[in-house]
Amino acid sequence: MQNRIKVQLELFERRYLDDVVDLWNLVFKGRRYFYPMSRERFEKYILKNRDFNLEGCVVAVSKSRVVGFGLAVIRSSGDYKLDINDLPGFISILFVSPEFRHKGVGTMILNFLEGFILESGKGESQVGYPYNPICFSPGVDMSTYAFRFFLNRGYRLKAASLHMELNLKDFYLREKISRYLETHRRMGITYRICNEKDRESLYKLMDHFPGWYSRVREALESESPREVLVAVHHTKVIGFVGPIWLDDRRGCFTGIGVHPQYRRRKIGTVLFNLLCSKLKEMGASYITLHTGTSNPAQEIYFDAGFKVKSVWATKMLKRLKGCGDK
């Protein structure tokens, strides 16, 4: 496997670990969703991941120097009501040293990863986070060259999201939120941190939000549980937001949802504003989130004061030739 500038692809070996980590930090430093990579993080999130397969992990080498890296994975276990046979293969990460870009190295790595996915029996390749078992960002920032790179190599946009942010310095619960709370109280609806008695009712609510089921359950039942804020009608959980956590000074949460029979009553609005208040109380200075470009919930976020910072391709798909094609 070799190209015109004398770059060859080799399967990842531990002797390349330090060079891959160094290049990773060089390439992504200063970008959104840059989390400094280390040997320990690489071991934990990649090499020890149950879906890691060495055959889908490749380095590009020029004169003994690592100049690129790529990882593709096949999900091996299902999620709540998820049939893994319906899933594509996933491109988890692909990057090239700055001075080796626009020379065919990225394409060479991508071709290798797609070949691995095809040989694994998958007819589609996905870039983006939905159901991706090893994922380091929501997808591809649509303002970057990476977005055009994948478009020009056959990937098509299937879902996009708004990256939004709120500075919590001046956030407070407005008078209208207090009015909604009082209206809900008279209806028998209360808000609280999910407790042991609420869990089964919350899990039943997750029938309407299967994509978040496993993350909510794992967060509540882990050795270091994370909190989930719930709306409760008498004893029935009818809405949730969370799990909630801090990443340094950034407030984070997984998802928000309200039972279909209880929508259009401002329950989601109250839940989200209580979330912002809770994260500020925990010490967060700002909150970031992603929401689908056509998701009506974005109006809740705009109303709370969030601003759009960037737009991301969260799901790009490519049909791979050779799998069922004539």
Instruction: State whether 21 and 138 are in the same domain.
Output: yes
Instruction: State whether 24 and 150 are in the same domain.
Output: yes
Q: What integer pLDDT is reported at residue 36 of this predicted model? A: 82
Instruction: State whether 85 and 212 are in the same domain.
Output: no
CATH of the domain at 198: 3.40.630.30
Those residues with Cβ within 8 angstroms of residue 14's Cβ, 6 or more apart along the chain or in another chain:
none
Instruction: State whether 183 and 113 are in the same domain.
Output: no
Those residues with Cβ within 8 angstroms of residue 2's Cβ, 6 or more apart along the chain or in another chain:
8
Assess if residue 95 is contained within a domain: yes
Assess if residue 326 is contained within a domain: no
| Mean pLDDT (whole number) for 265-277 | 96
Indicate whether 282 pLDDT > 50.
Answer: yes
Percent of the chain surpassing pLDDT 70: 94
Instruction: State whether 289 and 226 are in the same domain.
Output: yes
Q: What are phi and psi of 14, to 5 degrees?
A: -60, -25
Assess if residue 87 is contained within a domain: yes
Domain that holds residue 294: 172-304
- Domain count of the fold of the chain: 2
Instruction: State whether 227 and 92 are in the same domain.
Output: no
Assess if residue 1 is contained within a domain: no
Instruction: State whether 280 and 247 are in the same domain.
Output: yes
Indicate whether 326 pLDDT > 80.
Answer: no
SS3 58: strand
SS3 72: strand
Instruction: State whether 198 and 124 are in the same domain.
Output: no
Assess if residue 325 is contained within a domain: no
Q: What integer pLDDT is reported at residue 2 of this predicted model? A: 47
Assess if residue 15 is contained within a domain: yes
| Residue 111 backbone class (left: φ over 0; alpha: ψ -120 to 50; beta: rest) | alpha
Are the C-beta atoms of residues 274 and 229 closer than 8 Å to each other? Answer: yes
Assess if residue 94 is contained within a domain: yes
Cβ burial of 281 (10 Å; 0-12, 13-18, 19+) is exposed
Are the C-beta atoms of residues 129 and 138 closer than 8 Å to each other? Answer: yes
pLDDT top residue among 211 and 319:
319
| Mean pLDDT (whole number) for 38-55 | 95
Instruction: State whether 30 and 141 are in the same domain.
Output: yes
Please write the tens of the pLDDT for every residue from 144-177.
Answer: 999 999 999 999 999 999 999 999 999 999 999 9
DSSP conformation letters of 213-254: HHHHHHHHHSSS--EEEEEEETTEEEEEEEEEEEETTEEEEE
Name which of 293, 313, 310, 289 is nearest 301 in CA terms: 289
Assess if residue 46 is contained within a domain: yes
Instruction: State whether 134 and 245 are in the same domain.
Output: no
Q: What is the token pair recorded at 294?
A: 């056509």
State pTM to two decimals.
0.81
Q: Report the DSSP pairing between strands 286-292 and 250-258.
A: parallel
Instruction: State whether 63 and 188 are in the same domain.
Output: no
Instruction: State whether 155 and 216 are in the same domain.
Output: no
Indicate whether 42 pLDDT > 80.
Answer: yes
User: Alpha carbon of 13 to those of 20, 52, 79, 286: distances in Å?
Assistant: 10, 13, 30, 39
